[in-house]
Amino acid sequence: MLVKDDRRETVLSVNNVKKTIGNRLIIKGISFEVYAGEIFGFLGPNGSGKTTTIRMLVDLIKPTGGSITICGQDVHKEHNEALRHVGCIVENPELYPYLSGWENLEQFARMLPGVSEERIREVVDIVGMDQRIHDRVKTYSLGMRQRLGIAQALLNRPKLLILDEPTNGLDPQGIKELREFIRQLADTGLSLFVSSHLLSEIQQMCDRVAIISHGEVIKVGEVGALIDESASTVVWKAVPLTAALEVLGRHNAIEIVETDAGSGDQQDSNGKPYEAFIVTRVSPAAIPELTRQLVEAGISLYGIEIKHPTLEDLFLELTEGERIG
C-alpha cells in the first residue's frame, strides 16, 4: 500500500473543475491529485459524473470552470504537451476485429510520432500477449481485447493511464488477472486512474480513491485509511444494561443504534445473564476508553463485538444510501 508523501510527483491535478451542460451543473467544483506510480480509484454510482470528468481529463469536452494539469501542463491550453503523457481507454477499446492484434497496434502506431516496431514489441511483452498477437482480434476473449487496448494506450509511453470501468463484462478470473496486471503497471512507475461503480473492485485494486456523488467529490484518501477512520458498529453485551446505556450515552461521538434488554437485567436459573446488548456506531479509536469507563462504573461486559466497515459501508454512509451499480 502506498503512503501519501508530499514529495511524490503529482501526475494529474484537478482544481475546482466545474461543468455545466445545458442549464445543469453536472460537475460541481471537484479537486483531487493523482501521484506517480499509484492506482487511483474514481468511484461513484451511475450518473454521478465519472465519464463527464474523464472526458474533461482528456480534453474531449472543456470544463466550464477550474483547470486540469497533467505533468504540470494544462490539458486545454497545452493540449498536445499535456496529452502526450496520457493513455486512455474510455469504455471499450476501439479495435479492428478482422486484423490481428499486431496489425491493430501497427495501425495505431502510425498515428503516433516516434513509435517504432521495437516499441510495439515491448508493449506486446508488457501485456503478455506474444503467443496470440498474430491472431485476429475477433478470436480474442474480452480480457485479451482489454489487454490489447491497454497495449495501444501504452505505445507512446504515457505517465498516466486512464481506464473507464475496465472490468465491465469481465468474468471473475478476468477481473483478477486485470487487477494483477494493473498492479504490475503501477510498479513500473505508471499512474493509473480507474473509474468504477464497483466498490469491492476499487477496494481491492486501488491505493487511493476519490468518491464522487451527484457531481461532487465527497471524499479523497487512501482506501485503508478511509475505512479505518469511518465508524465501526460495536455490539456491547453489558449488564446492567441501563447503567451501560448511561455511560455510553454521555458521549456525543457515539450513536446508539439499538438496545435490547432481553427480559431486563436479570439472570437465568443458571445464574447466566440474559443476552442484553447495545448496538452503537463509534470510531474504533474510542473503544478502549469506553470499555474502561464501563468497567469503572461496575458494569459487567460479556462481550464486545466489533464489525469493521467496508468501503461499501463508508460509501453508503457518505452517499446516504444512494444505489450503486
Ligand X SMILES: Nc1ncnc2c1ncn2[C@@H]1O[C@H](COP(=O)(O)OP(=O)(O)OP(=O)(O)O)[C@@H](O)[C@H]1O
Least spacing, CB of residue 22 vs ligand X, in Å: 6
Q: Does 25 bind ligand X (CB under 6 A)?
A: no
Least spacing, CB of residue 219 vs ligand X, in Å: 16
- The pairing of beta strand 160-164 with beta strand 191-196: parallel
When binding is defined by CB under 6 A, the residue of 10, 13, 15, 51 that contacts ligand X is 51
Least spacing, CB of residue 17 vs ligand X, in Å: 12
Least spacing, CB of residue 86 vs ligand X, in Å: 18
Question: Where does residue 165 fall: left (phi above 0), alpha (psi -120 to 50 degrees), or beta otherwise?
Answer: left
Reference 199, options 77, 15, 323, 305; nearest CA is: 323
Q: Does 29 bind ligand X (CB under 6 A)?
A: no
Q: Does 44 bind ligand X (CB under 6 A)?
A: yes
Instruction: Give the long-range contacts of residues 265-272, CB within 8 A, separation 24 or more.
Output: 265/239, 265/240, 265/241
Least spacing, CB of residue 280 vs ligand X, in Å: 34
The answer to whether residues 302 and 238 touch, using CB atoms and an 8 Å cutoff, is yes
Q: How far apart are CA 324 and CA 241, in angstroms?
A: 38
Q: Does 46 bind ligand X (CB under 6 A)?
A: yes
Q: Does 166 bind ligand X (CB under 6 A)?
A: no
Pick the stretch among 49-57, 139-147, 170-178, 248-256 that binds ligand X (CB under 6 A): 49-57
Cβ distance to ligand X smaller for residue 46 or 267: 46
The answer to whether residues 296 and 288 touch, using CB atoms and an 8 Å cutoff, is no
Cβ distance to ligand X smaller for residue 170 or 256: 170
Pick the stretch among 50-58, 66-74, 102-110, 243-251 that binds ligand X (CB under 6 A): 50-58
When binding is defined by CB under 6 A, the residue of 14, 39, 50, 152 that contacts ligand X is 50
When binding is defined by CB under 6 A, the residue of 11, 35, 41, 52 that contacts ligand X is 52
Binding mask 177-206 for ligand X (x = CB under 6 A): --------------------x---------
What the block records as the C-alpha cell of 286 is 474510542
Q: Does 48 bind ligand X (CB under 6 A)?
A: yes
Least spacing, CB of residue 243 vs ligand X, in Å: 49
Least spacing, CB of residue 169 vs ligand X, in Å: 14
When binding is defined by CB under 6 A, the residue of 37, 49, 87, 101 that contacts ligand X is 49
Q: Does 26 bind ligand X (CB under 6 A)?
A: yes
Binding stretches for ligand X (CB under 6 A):
21-22, 26, 44, 46-52, 197
